[in-house]
Structure 1
Amino acid sequence: MAEVSLVPSIGPAGVVAGIVLTLLAGLLIEQLVHYISWRYQRATTGVAAIFAPIITSSPELAIFTVALLRGEVHIAWGSIVAQPFMASTVIYPAVILTALVAWLFGKRRYKIPHVHRIVAVPLLVFTIPLLPILFLHPEKYGLYGQLYGVLLLATYFLYAKFMLREEKIEKEAPSLWLRNPALQTVAALAAMVFGAEWMVSGIKELGATAGLDKLALSVILVPIATVIPESIVGLIFIAKGKDDEGISVIVGEKALYSTFYPGLAMALGVYTLEPAAAQALIIAIIVSMFEIVAIWFGYFGLTAPIGLTGYLYYVACYTLHAACPQISW
């Protein structure tokens, strides 16, 4: 079956074009965060934690919906499980790298992101809900799994209500490049979709041109195609030294994929607990627990080496067929 793409391939140049478009989308969304915060008098960190992840996760929502409509349950559930795993393994090193580069160019005061302890609370709250999923086998506890899914959905909406609390914003109205917020939102979405498509097709073309091994190419493709679009807004905030807002975006992304999306999948009865999914969740939980401790002391990203190790371990187990212990639930 022929591969379907939303945009025509432009060859290896798609890598550069994709990164540029994704960066542009992130800048547009960052402006929207400030504008919405001012327009509706809501906490900037709250808007960053709720609005930005919803926009940046729209491609994954599309994948989840299409897979669901086609009856591809494993793909639908896999697209959800992948996000907490990638957030806990690959995104943390990306945060540290961004902070270090920005510090070297004099854009930040600190080498490592400094955050307030309040950021650790939602990270803890949205790590714990992943634990029961490991034991709610659909073949045994289908009904309980569906009820738990409804509970997760309710939890996310309560979290959103808390984060979007009122806050007096007295500064002048932030400017929008496209002046109209609705138009800027649509433009950001379009730039993100086109950017992601061109990045994926560009990396494939580059690999074919250079004669790279397909397996090695997939290892490179997965982090770039997921980390850059998903975390671009948070990385832009961090590069500008706005650590609380930047980490709020990343934690908000984790909240979305630890409650809303798995809750929706479980409520609809479309989730599985195969070893690959279970192991990805376990790695995400372990890394997040360490990160909570780091954030409690005012830092973020100190667990980057642990997360990266977890990612390489998972890749070795499920793509290189290394001798790794198989988890049976």
Structure 2
Amino acid sequence: MDLKGVILAAGNGKRLRPLTNTRPKPLVPVAGRTLLEHNIDKMIAAGIDNIIIVLPKNTTLQLSVYLKGHYPNITLDFVEQMQVLGTAHALDVAKSQIGASDFLMVYGDNLTGYDYAKLIKRHKSNVASATMALMHADEPWKHGIVEINGARITDIVEKPENPKSDLAFAGMCVFTPDIFEAIKHTEKSPRGEYYLTDSLQLLIEWEHQIGYAILDTWRLNVNDHKDLLKANKLLLSEEASVHSDVVNQNEQADMFHIIPPVFIGAEASIGDNAVIGPYVTLENAAIVGENTRIENSILLSRANIGNNCSIANSILGENSCVADEFHTSESESVALVLGDGERNSEFGVRNAELFP
């Protein structure tokens, strides 16, 4: 059974601004890859070479040129969700591209250490209309929560006020085309959206079997800057599965020091006596000045940090600039976010978001 892959990546990324002011959310980078590339890579690793991506409106040209250049040996198709009407609606707009094939669907802002091949294997071993990936949720009222009986899911409720379990939908599911008939009959939620969990609940009510697999590793939904930094840390900690350029050993260069794990892109420049890491991503041509210390941060391409700085828990956009002698607060959350081309100065942060 050859499966197609479907990535729902039509979110607008409001909570990731200012990064998403100049790029679609799927192209936000973390740990040396964009959000979308992390999911494509995992699908390819699971044996999928035909992938349909549901995008925000007016983004197909930008994303298709970028992705087809990076993935010339697989089939990539693109479809736009013209109105943001929920996950079931997003999947339905890809119906004609999916055709009669079973398919693995993942949310595009989902990142995980889970091997998609395990979910596919579980689905192939079941006679089921869908096989859902589940996780134990710390805050189940924020998720689509399921109840199980043996090998079957018996109930699904989206964001219940009084959850009956902590097993939540983890944003990954293998479907048969049966799901499209359920989507056709799915009612709009009070928020004005059509939820896939409601469509799955319809299949249960129609006595279709819904199977499941429980994740054996981490999973994160990237919604905001804090999530992005957490994802960076988790992905870099799995250096072997991220990218060969991830440094995973202490490295003392002649003039600077690296504390692993870090990702260092091509042509990145590191000044004398700088200390980089742990959990730092330096994208291509990023610049770090002399005597500067960086940890738990992401610098996008050509971001420039001056001399004698101390930067932690921060995200710097492309071509952004931090002046000499700048020090972020000792925040355990997000300290500084600069959008593309933004800069601060010795007089304080300007054109940026500064977090306490």
Q: Specify if TM > 0.5.
A: no
Structure showing greater Rg: 2
Instruction: Return the TM-score normalized by structure 2.
Output: 0.23
If asked which structure has higher relative contact order (CA below 8 Å, sep 6+), I would say 1
**Structure with the larger strand share:** 2
Please, what TM-score do these two structures have when normalized by structure 1? 0.24
